[in-house]
Structures are given as structure tokens and as C-alpha cells.
Amino acid sequence: MPLNPTALRAGFNKFMDPDASEFVAWPNSITESAEKWAQALVDYATAIVPPSTTVSAAKAAYIPVHSAISNSAGNGFVQLAAAHNAFVTALALGQITGVFVVSTPPVFTPADFIGVATGMTGTPTPAILTALVSMIDAKFRTGFCVTAPPASATVPWT
């Protein structure tokens, strides 16, 4: 099974949407938020095609970057983008095998997350999460791998 936006949404619902059947609890700290967000990404990307052997390493790369979000610094969008970039970079390293010689991960920017948040004040949580999952899924699908020569075929992340 390839990238799974349904699993990503379910993972986010566990800690972001109190009205969702999957909801468990709000995170008690930014570190707990990072861990829950990273687990949602793991659930989403575990079966990525081409496969990656570094999904656990991607989670480990994500958590400290997301944990550096600070309300007083106002760096939430910057850190979210950086955390996602840490995740996809680590994920891409696990795709480089004898078959694939290059893996180019997507690039997340603060503008990606700002774009989801803009105009969302008062918007119901499910609509916000739909937009967030859609953006993340679309970005992941811009990643690709290249097979070894002589074929050198490009294989998109799915």
C-alpha cells in the first residue's frame, strides 16, 4: 500500500479533533505534540513506494525539530516546515538502494503551512485537517527516485 492520507488524517484526529471518533487526548507538551505528529507521518508513509528502510529514522529526525516550536519566538510555521523536511530527507535516504541511486524528497516551506492556516479562523477542525492532510499529501507526491543507469527512470513517490 502506498502513501496513505487516510492514516495521516486518522493520526491527526487522535490529538487534534476532539469530535473525531479516533480522538484520544490533546498533547500535554510541545514534545508530546511532536511525537504524535511524527507518528501520524509514520502511519502515512510506512508503505511509501519506492519503499524506505528509514521510516523510524525519519520519525526520530522529525521530533526534535518540531519540539523547537516556541510561541514566544513565533516560529511555528518555520519549525513545522523544517520538521517535515527532516522527516522526508531521512525517509529519502532509506530509498537509495541498488535499484534507486537518487531520491529527491519534497521541500516544505513555511508558506505551505501558512497557506493552510490563512483564513481558517473560525473554521471547523475537520475542514482545517482536510486542508492540512491534502497539502502534506500533495507535497510528498512531488518526491521522486531515479533508478540506476542505464535506464535512469524517474519513479514518483506514491
**pLDDT tens for residues 130-158?**
999 999 999 999 999 999 998 899 999 99
What does pTM read for this prediction?
0.95
Which ranges of the chain does DSSP label H, i.e. alpha helix?
5-16, 30-45, 55-66, 76-93, 110-117, 125-140
**Please, which pLDDT band fits residue 1 given cuts at 50, 70 and 90?**
low
Residues 57-74 pLDDT 10s: 999 999 999 999 998 888
CA dihedral 97, 6, 127, 142 (to 10 degrees): 20
- Which residues are bridge partners to 146 per DSSP? 102, 154
Please tell me the distance from the alpha carbon of residue 123 to that of residue 120, in angstroms, as a whole number.
5
